[in-house]
Structure 1
Amino acid sequence: MKTYSKLLSAVVFLFCLGIVSAQSAYLKIGDIKGESTASGHEDWIVIESVSFGLDQQLATTGTTRRRASVKLEDLVIMKTVDKATPKLMEACAKGQAIPELELDMVAASGQVYYKLTLNNVRVIGVKTNAVYEPEYQLIEEVSISYSKIKWEYTDSSGRKVESSYDAQRGN
């Protein structure tokens, strides 16, 4: 019975791993070309992971707390070294302003379910690391600052929810 339970757990784990890995993420940043061949995302940069967020800063006066400002956290992506690497390095080194960045999260069905659009973008860091397991691979961490963000979520029935924030305008 224990063997059956362990086998069932392993199958469920591998099935869930397959579902998660069937999702994809792609980045389009200015005219920098990546190596994606996925339909609708040709020449976009393939992303392995992404992190971003925002923080509401509060000001305290005595016992009163009030809204002070919003801090947009840098967008940080992990990707393998590819043909976009030299251009991302150049954009960082030159402090190049890039008007727009798009990041699409794509479900296994091929539907874009989460989309970020960032404006007034700058690549502010590129770090390369060697990963040795399961095989040798060069991975990059790319940090990107921006002043405006738009979030779009599309559910499985096609209904879209959108919102945005502009740090320069404070709204």
Structure 2
Amino acid sequence: MAANFAFIKIGELKGESQDSKHQGWIDVLNWSWGASNHGSGQIGSGSGTGKGVVQDFHFQKTVDGTSTYIAQNLLQGEHFPKATFELLKVGGKTPVTYYKVEFEQVFISSLAFGGGGEGGAFTESITFNFRKFKATYTAQTATGSAGESSSLGWDTGAHIEV
């Protein structure tokens, strides 16, 4: 099974990733993101009348040089113009970015610091919402190179595909 790595670039912040393709990005320890739709199957004859709601993006990273800037952004109520999240799959000669999400109008909505005892890393959990996103999935071929891709763009405020 191929190894996977995750990175995020928020605005012009300079992260501490040492990955050759992600210098200056933030190394992501774990992440979650999704959407939900409360259909109306219990009302009337159909179950597809609800509108999907995109959830905030959550990720965890080690405390680094971006930490105070992210906190400052949250406390001042400012937004970042964009953020880019990438999942990298290592399995062939060159790593493949197999999942990429580009966010626009990024607003940090939550920040929490934590630490591990006995030499564990000090981390922070960050949550942000956003106005628009474009997600792209790229398959990895049997030889490890990039294959076909598909994408979805969405405006969360207007509830329309972009």
1:39 counterpart residue number: 20
Cα distance, 1:65 vs. partner? Answer: 3.6
- CA deviation vs aligned residue, 1:131-158 (integer Å, no higher than 9, x gap): 125x232111000111212111111142
2:100 counterpart residue number: 115
2:35 counterpart residue number: 54
- Indicate which of 149, 153, 158 corresponds to 1:164: 153
CA–CA separation in structure 1 for the residues paired with 2:23 and 2:149: 24
Aligned-partner residue type, residue 104 of structure 1: E
- In the alignment of these two chains, the number of paired residues is 151
Contact 1:147 1:168 in 2 (8 A): yes
CA–CA separation in structure 2 for the residues paired with 1:66 and 1:154: 29
| 1:76 to 2:58 alignment | yes
- Which has a greater percent of helix? 1
1:139 counterpart residue number: 123
Aligned-partner residue type, residue 113 of structure 1: Y
Percentage of matched positions with identical amino acids:
23
> Bigger CA drift: 45-54 or 103-112?
103-112
Aligned-partner residue type, residue 46 of structure 1: D
Under a length normalisation based on structure 2, what TM-score does the superposition of the two structures give? 0.85
Aligned-partner residue type, residue 30 of structure 1: G
- Indicate which of 121, 130, 134 corresponds to 1:150: 134
Contact 1:123 1:143 in 2 (8 A): yes
Aligned-partner residue type, residue 28 of structure 2: I
CA–CA separation in structure 1 for the residues paired with 2:51 and 2:73: 28
> CA, structure 1 residues 147+58, in 2 after alignment: closer, same or farther (shift >3 Å)?
farther
> Bigger CA drift: 154-163 or 95-104?
154-163
RMSD between aligned residues: 1.7
CA–CA separation in structure 1 for the residues paired with 2:128 and 2:27: 16
Larger Rg: 1
CA–CA separation in structure 2 for the residues paired with 1:103 and 1:79: 13
CA–CA separation in structure 1 for the residues paired with 2:132 and 2:37: 15
Contact 1:54 1:73 in 2 (8 A): yes
Contact 1:80 1:137 in 2 (8 A): yes
Under a length normalisation based on structure 1, what TM-score does the superposition of the two structures give? 0.81
CA–CA separation in structure 1 for the residues paired with 2:11 and 2:38: 31
1:29 counterpart residue number: 10
